[in-house]
Amino acid sequence: MSDGAVVVKTRKFKKNPLLSRRQMIIDIIHPGRANVPRSELQEVVGGMYKADPKLVILFGFQTKFGGGKTTGFALIYDNKESLIKFEPKYRLIRNGTIDKKETSRKAIKEAKNKKKKIRGTGASIAKHKAKRAAGDD
């Protein structure tokens, strides 16, 4: 094997029709390389299973001691709607599917403290107004 060669093997493959995805553990053998970029792995796994690389989610990678082998988890969603519906927000942001909404720390704290002062039926209305005010900044 040359320095750039990467071997990707899958195991424990499972179809999950309730979440409309395929899930598996992937083993990456990469001798002579420290690690393999996630984008490159998305292309390889997407090609192996005839899927769009944007619908491939990779996470939980552990490099074995001494290097050369990495193990992680892969999810391949059937469509973008199910990807957005079932994936945690932080993984969608990491994957580049959605953009992170930037809100200031001060605005979040002001909305929280305003919410604490209101009781009863007006709480949900005030929460909605506070959320909109934080979003407008």
pLDDT for 114 equals: 81
- Rounded to whole angstroms, the Cα distance separating 130 from 115 reads 8
Distance CA 46, CA 25 (A): 14
Helix axes 105-117, 122-136, angle to 10 degrees: 170
DSSP string, 89-109: HHHHHHHTSSPPPP--HHHHH
Query: How far apart are alpha carbons 41 and 45 in whole angstroms?
Result: 6
d(CA 17, CA 60): 22
User: What is the pLDDT, as a whole number, of residue 1?
Assistant: 43
Q: What is the pLDDT of residue 133?
A: 75
Ranges of the chain whose pLDDT falls below 50: 1
Spatial contact of 22 and 14, defined as CB atoms under 8 Å apart:
yes
pLDDT of residue 78: 94
- The per-residue pLDDT for 3 is 62
To which residue do tokens 């969603």 refer? 77
List pLDDT tens digits, range 93-121: 999 888 888 889 998 898 888 878 877 77
